[in-house]
Amino acid sequence: MKKRCLILLIVGLLILCGCTQGSTKAPAGSKSLPVDDVMIISHYGYYISGSFPGDFVKIFGEVENIGQYNLKSIKITAGFYNGAGETIRTDWTYVYADILLPGEKSPFTFIEYASADSDYQTYEVGVTSCRETTEEPYRDFEFLNISTYTDDDGDYRVAGELKNTGSQDIDSVEVRATFYDEMGKVVAVSEGYLSFTEGLAAGETEPFDIRTLEEKASQKITSYSLQTRVY
């Protein structure tokens, strides 16, 4: 298949967070521009210190297929820099959706363990590759009886049921939630498997429960979206 994605890097300032105490810096403004058929529409990164098993950096983001073709293997690359603008490390990941139809969105996540003296200050994220495909993802699912609440630990949670409305038995399916603040920007991404079994036969319904595990993000969440992926 012809590659239609070029490299575009979007710069962000890491929010510095402490589990017990610490200062917080507002993220720098950034603008996401189209990269042929894929656009990074939102991203949010922060550094957490003093947590078990150590310090780490997290980036949550979301892309949209703004083209006319189904896309797969959408690869996101991140660069991490210190206060002097020197590269600490680079990494890459794929977006959550294995196949993204035109107009659809999908989240991505980076989790990087860091030493206390790493001086993570800024990061860049960009779409670095993807492929057109004629494959069609299995999407014959329906979400039922959805509820949201904040648990005793302060974590935002989404609970409900997933029904397989198609004719195909599914061996393994995962549900992922993308959480947004009041401005519609991504602040967290979390996944959850079905409560009793990973598989879901045609016509079956099983419960799921997803929690953010992001203390800072839970206070910002005002909306969410749900997505399935079949393995």
CATH topology of domain 10-133: Immunoglobulin-like (2.60.40)
For domain 141-230, which CATH number applies: 2.120.10.30, 2.60.40.3230, 3.40.140.10, 3.50.30.30?
2.60.40.3230
Q: What is the pTM of this model?
A: 0.82
Token output for 106: 């999908």
Domain 10-133 matches domain 141-230 at the CATH topology level: yes
Mean pLDDT on 86-107? 93
Per-residue DSSP letters for 160-195? EEEEE-SSS-BS-EEEEEEEE-TTS-EEEEEEEE-S
Q: What is the pLDDT of residues 176-230, one digit of tens each?
A: 999 999 999 999 999 876 765 668 999 999 999 998 877 777 788 999 999 999 9
Spans of all domains in the chain: 10-133, 141-230
Q: What is the pLDDT of residues 29-86, one digit of tens each?
A: 333 334 578 999 999 888 877 665 567 888 999 999 999 999 999 999 998 888 888 8
* pLDDT(18) > 50: no
Are β-strands 87-94 and 173-180 bridged in parallel, bridged antiparallel, or unpaired? unpaired
